[in-house]
Amino acid sequence: MTLSMDKNLIEHIVREVIASLQARGSGVVEPKPCLLLVHDGSRATTEIDKIIAPLLAKWQVGIESYQAPDLVSSAEKDVRHAVLMDIDQDLLVRGAQGFTDSAPSKLLATLLRNGTPVTLVPAPSAAWILQSVDSDEGLPEPAKRYRAHIRTYKDQLITFGAKFAKLTELELQHEMGLHVNKRVLTQKDIQDSHVPTITVSRHTLITPLARDTAKDKGLTILIQEP
């Protein structure tokens, strides 16, 4: 005999169980997703603290320099998003072409190859890469063509999943997706989310109404692979 249960009833039972566990003080603390921030080592600790301050509410932030040993290994340990700062033109070009002959380019290649979301923050010398083509007005034609050529590498990295941002935009960038470390994902979790994607553990139970609501909102639920 096949038993069928109403989705609303299932949702109600799940919420009651969760509320009961919370009332008993289960002591389970949902960990924040890990964000790796890498810089060139020239920044003072006080400056780094100021940069990460807006991110600490929702992220567990790990800080490394490009000179750190085992940098690539660190990036492969539960990192849900990486922010690579101080991106110069050399790394921009090498990264787009897949070169891995330096610590920064090897790190970038590893992140892109594994599908880890990565935000690239250009160094001051390469900040022009974030400007529109209109900013090139007044430059000689050869300079315009050269800048257009370099921008193709930026565009190529974007097609590989990388995003570019200024330091002031980092807080906005990390809101683009949400990593939920919960045992159960409910309809309310979906209703309260204002992001295009939610990533959950492969061990997370997703209720039927959560799936239906996500579909109605156009929200994508991604399952994090081990």
89: burial class by Cβ within 10 Å (0-12, 13-18, 19+)? middle
Give the pTM. 0.67
pLDDT number for residue 173 = 46
* Mean pLDDT for the stretch of residues 168-179: 58
- 170 pLDDT above the threshold of 60: yes
Phi and psi torsions of 136, nearest 5° = -85, -5
Instruction: Report the pLDDT value the prediction gives residue 5, as an integer from 0 to 100.
Output: 62
Q: Residues 189-199: what's their mean pLDDT?
A: 79
- The rounded percent of the chain whose pLDDT value lies above 90 is 41
* Domain boundaries along the sequence of the chain: 34-173, 177-226
Give me the residue label for tokens 């400056």.
47
Per the prediction, the chain carries an average pLDDT of 83
What pLDDT does residue 23 have?
55
CATH superfamily placement of domain 34-173: Flavin prenyltransferase-like (3.40.50.1950)
Which is higher by pLDDT, 178 or 29?
178
Per residue in 72-128, pLDDT (tens digit) is: 887 777 788 899 999 999 999 999 999 999 999 999 999 999 888 899 999 999 999
Enumerate long-range contacts of 148-155, CB under 8 Å, 24 or more apart.
150/89, 150/92, 150/93, 153/92, 153/93, 153/95, 153/96, 153/97, 154/92, 154/96, 154/129
Lowest mean pLDDT among 22-36, 144-158, 208-222: 22-36
Least confident of 81-95, 114-128, 139-153, 167-181: 167-181
For the stretch 13-63, pLDDT in tens is: 777 676 665 555 544 445 677 889 999 999 899 999 988 888 887 788 899
205 or 86, which is more confident? Answer: 86
Query: Residue 22: its pLDDT value, please?
Result: 57
